[in-house]
Amino acid sequence: MNKKSIRNRSLYIATTFTALMLIIIYFLIINTIKNNIIDSVGSLRFSQSKIVAENIESFIIKAQEHLTLIGRSIEKEELFSPEKIQKRFNQLNPSLTIFDNGLFFFNEKGELLAELPFINKERIGMSFGFREYFKTTMQTKKPYISLPYISSKTGKYSLMFTYPIIRNGDVIYILAGGINIQSVLNPIGNLQNSKVGQNGYYYIYNTNRIFIFHPDNSRIGKADVPYGVNKLFDATIDGFEGYGETVNSRSIRYLASFVRINKTDWILGSNLLYSEAMEPLSNLSTKLVIIFILIFIIIATTIYVAFYLFSKPMQFLTEKIENLSLDYPDIGKIDIEPKYYYKEFSPLIEKTNLLADNLKKSYETLFNVAKTLMKGQMIQLTFNRISKNITLLNTKLHLMKKVTETGSIADLLRDFENILIETTDITKLLSLRIAQTDIYKLIDFGELIQSYLSSNAINKGIIDAKLEVSDKIYSVYADEYLSLQMIENILINAQEAQVGVSKEPLRITLSNFDNEEGNLPDLTGKKYLKISIEDNGVGIEKRFIDKVFAPFWSTKPNRPGIGLTIAKDIAKNLGGDIFIESELGKGTKVTIYLPHYTESPMKDKKN
């Protein structure tokens, strides 16, 4: 068994705990700094976005007011002929500083009556009734800002501001002003030159998810952000304004801010690359890692020195216990130097010395029993004294095991425990010999086993077995107590083999066996009672089959390994034998052969 060091294990636990605590503190600091950066950078970006949004809002209000003034002057002067409108338009060149894509005048059919700047006569009379801005204005009878469209004049994305001229509740003319959103001459188009950080950008979309402006012109006029991809984008549709960490529809991580643009259903978004926002944190985290590594080295060194100084007396005590003699009659005691003697060691030293005294007494008692048996004096009092000493020794051993469970001391205590088990097992063997009281009678093993299984008081409820008995099985001359002992030892072994493997009951089969042809050469008789006990347990490896009947051998830890030895000894005394068949992983079958009462060597001992 690998020996474990208390000092090394303690050092490992202490340094591991220290490392974990430093790691937790590190991540708490990093997380706090990260949140602070997000709050500070995010609030700054949000404030800047609000300024940009207010600038766009002012431009929209200015454009709508300017278009309204032109429309009202046309209404007032009733300049409704194409010539008059064109003449008035030619006087409005300053308006092109706002409407850089031109001014337009349409009739109720969508036909172009006039435009500024004037291009050619071929355009006059062209129908634009198919345009979204024309249809919406005719339907709502209100001023309207269109969705982005590609201008027939410039081939660029534009927005159209409209002003309806209404008579008797019907729209008879529409005045419109166009803005080129790919031109830097207006606040919307100028967003192309406005960077957020080094690589970030602004964009505008409406509550229907359609992009009004985007630096990637291929996305203008499209709703190409699926729901659920960008959580903050989705939240703004429901009224959210603010900033936060998000991943856009192209799977790029950003620190984004969102501001609504009044007078419209537009939302201004700004994206700052998350890595760029967290660049100060990246630089700081490297320095923090170096600092925490240095702190860990200092703490680990301090812990090592402290544990070394603390464990030196314990190491000295361990060496004393390792060198303690356990050979009878030279069983020694622990004698420790005063400079290494601590009050915490006192119970351990006293109990170890007491255990050594009791061990020596147990050896002496065992030798006395052996001498008594050799002289033929089988007195029960001797075994009572052995039992008393073993009980005392066992109690002290358990007290010692509570003191320490690791290292060399634990190995020594296990040596004591093995000696105790060996002493107990030898006493059982001797007791078995004394217990043979020569009370033999004719026994029906079917009735004997059935009575045992059905009596909870006898088998203590631990044996779950199914009994099958053939008709007219042979009776056997045997001692009833020893027979039960033999059967019980085998049943307990079989039951324990099934723990955690199978819940099926054990199978006990009783039948007659004819050996007249010498099928079993180890049996000299002709007629035998055959008792088979089968389990569905773990099985036994082939290399261990020949060892199972050896005294003090067991595959189970802390078990005496004497139950099958006793069972086989009882069977042989009755003139029979026990055989084992087993396959690893499938179970074990134990077969007992007991001679017919007419062939029993015990028939002359019938009581």
pLDDT at 308 over 80: no
Cβ atoms < 10 Å from Cβ of 285: 16
pTM over 0.85: no
pLDDT at 384 over 50: no
CA distances from 98 to 37, 54, 56, 65, 187 (A): 39, 17, 12, 11, 10
**Highest-confidence segment of 252-261, 429-438, 446-455:** 252-261
The band of 211, judged by pLDDT with boundaries at 50, 70 and 90, is very high
Average pLDDT over residues 125-154: 93
> Which tens digits make up the pLDDT trace of 344-368?
667 777 777 787 777 777 766 654 5
The band of 165, judged by pLDDT with boundaries at 50, 70 and 90, is very high
Those residues whose C-beta lies under 8 Å from the C-beta of residue 158, and which sit 6 or more positions away, are 101, 148, 149, 150, 151, 178, 179, 180, 181
The band of 134, judged by pLDDT with boundaries at 50, 70 and 90, is very high
pLDDT at 34 over 50: yes
The band of 146, judged by pLDDT with boundaries at 50, 70 and 90, is very high
Q: What is the pLDDT of residue 358?
A: 77
The band of 149, judged by pLDDT with boundaries at 50, 70 and 90, is very high
Mean confidence (pLDDT) of the chain: 82
Q: What is the pLDDT of residue 376?
A: 39
Q: What is the pLDDT of residue 21?
A: 93
Q: What is the pLDDT of residue 2?
A: 58
Question: Looking at the chain, how many residues does it have?
Answer: 607
Instruction: Compute the chain's Rg from CA coordinates.
Output: 51
> At 466, which helix (H) or strand (E)?
strand 465-469
pLDDT at 440 over 60: yes
> Which tens digits make up the pLDDT trace of 444-503?
999 899 888 887 444 455 678 889 999 889 889 888 888 888 998 899 888 888 888 888
Q: What is the pLDDT of residue 518?
A: 78
> Which tens digits make up the pLDDT trace of 267-283?
999 999 998 988 888 88
Q: 151-165, 329-343, 567-581 — which is least confidently predicted?
A: 329-343
- 542 touches 550 (CB < 8 A): no
Q: What is the pLDDT of residue 495?
A: 86
> At 177, which helix (H) or strand (E)?
strand 170-180
pLDDT at 307 over 80: no
Q: What is the pLDDT of residue 403?
A: 52
Cβ atoms < 10 Å from Cβ of 534: 19
> Which tens digits make up the pLDDT trace of 182-197?
988 899 999 998 999 8
DSSP letters of 218-273?
GGTT-----TTTSHHHHHHHTT--EEEEEE-TTS-EEEEEEEEETTTTEEEEEEEE
Q: What percent of the chain has pLDDT over 90?
A: 38
CA distances from 183 to 56, 187, 360 (A): 14, 9, 106
Q: What is the pLDDT of residue 320?
A: 73
Question: Which token pair is 221?
Answer: 């006029």
Q: 15-19, 221-225, 304-308 — which is least confidently predicted?
A: 304-308
Identify the residue with better confidence: 436 or 485. Answer: 485
pLDDT at 408 over 80: no
pLDDT at 392 over 50: yes
Q: What is the pLDDT of residue 258?
A: 96
Residue 213: phi and psi, rounded to 5, are -145, 145
